[in-house]
Amino acid sequence: MPMIIEAIKAFFIGIVQGITEWLPVSSTGHMILFNEFVKMDVSPEFFELFEVVIQFGSILAVLVLFFDKLNPFSRKKDEAMKKKTWTLWIRVIIAVLPAAIIGLLLDDWFQAKFYNYVSVAVALIFYGILFIVIERRNKNKTMIYNDVYDIDGATALKIGIFQVLSIIPGTSRSGSTILGASVIGVSRPAAAEFSFFLAIPVMLGASAYKVLKYIVKVGVALTSTEIMALIVGTVTAFAVSLIVIRFLMNFVRKHSFESFGWYRIVLGIIVLGYNFVKIVVS
């Protein structure tokens, strides 16, 4: 029975992760609220590992949906398209470098200092306001980069620098990259797509780093309940991510990100309000 209960909890966490990883709304903000109501009966070390490992399911969804576009060896592509695909991967690696360097140096410090409901709520509200302001500014603006292949090295690096902002909990990795890309003239569909591609090396690297930390600290032994939770969470995150990524790509072709800005503001207020009530009641 305990295994089934933990598997159900992992299922719901996988749903939250699969949705919030790709929408620019901050997975951290949602997890802070969600963990208040659905707490897994596991050690803090394992839960940190769990949150990272189930991201693999989300990454796999990107690889499945964009396999042909990301595959430089595809037989469907001529030599020119294969060259463009290799160039795209180079742009992705360039964009990853700033966050990889800063993340390795300062990730633990930022988590220790800013992983709290006040910081997360402030980040949710602040970047929500920025989404609204930037989307309204861009309403009648002609974008420079309308396809992900149009993004050059310098632009990729600028997007990567914006991605560094996501080291602050509550900012959102996809939110920071999409927001940054919009500021420098990348269309919504291209910005969202490039953000998905950036997630592959970023999340794989972060996952590998935290798994290694867990092994060094705790070891490799896992209980049957923990193994089940990892499997259920990862599979759920994969299935939900497939739906969410398709939804977002269709959404941004017809709508702006302004609605996500308002959503972030409301969520930030809820996080602040909920924790204020907890302090008063206690």
User: Which tens digit of pLDDT belongs to each residue from 24-40?
Assistant: 988 877 877 787 788 88
Nearest one of 208, 270, 247 to 21, comparing CA atoms: 247
The whole-number pLDDT of residue 197 equals 94
The whole-number pLDDT of residue 103 equals 77
Average pLDDT of every residue of the chain: 88
Residue 14 CB-density burial (10 A; 0-12 exposed, 13-18 middle, 19+ buried): buried
pLDDT band of 236, cuts 50, 70, 90: very high
Hey, what are 271's tokens?
């996080």
The whole-number pLDDT of residue 181 equals 93
Q: Is the pLDDT of residue 21 over 70?
A: yes
Q: Is the pLDDT of residue 1 over 70?
A: no
Place of tokens 């463009």: 84
pLDDT band of 102, cuts 50, 70, 90: confident
pLDDT band of 97, cuts 50, 70, 90: very high
pLDDT band of 9, cuts 50, 70, 90: very high
Q: Is the pLDDT of residue 46 over 90?
A: no
Q: Is the pLDDT of residue 109 over 70?
A: yes
Contacts of 93 (CB under 8 A, 6+ apart): 201
Q: Tell me what percent of the residues of the chain surpass a pLDDT of 90.
A: 49
Where do the DSSP E strands lie in 154-203?
none
pLDDT band of 254, cuts 50, 70, 90: confident
Q: Which residues pair with 178 in a beta bridge?
A: none
Q: Give the pLDDT confidence of 119-131 residue by residue, as tens digits.
A: 889 999 999 999 9
The whole-number pLDDT of residue 43 equals 82
Burial track 174-190 (b if 16+ CB lie within 10 A, e otherwise): bbbbbbbbbbbbbbbbb
Q: Give the pLDDT confidence of 151-195 residue by residue, as tens digits.
A: 999 999 999 999 988 888 888 888 899 999 999 999 999 999 999
Q: Is the pLDDT of residue 235 over 70?
A: yes
User: Could you tell me how far CA 57 lies from the centroid of its own chain?
Assistant: 12
- Residue 165 has what DSSP assignment? G
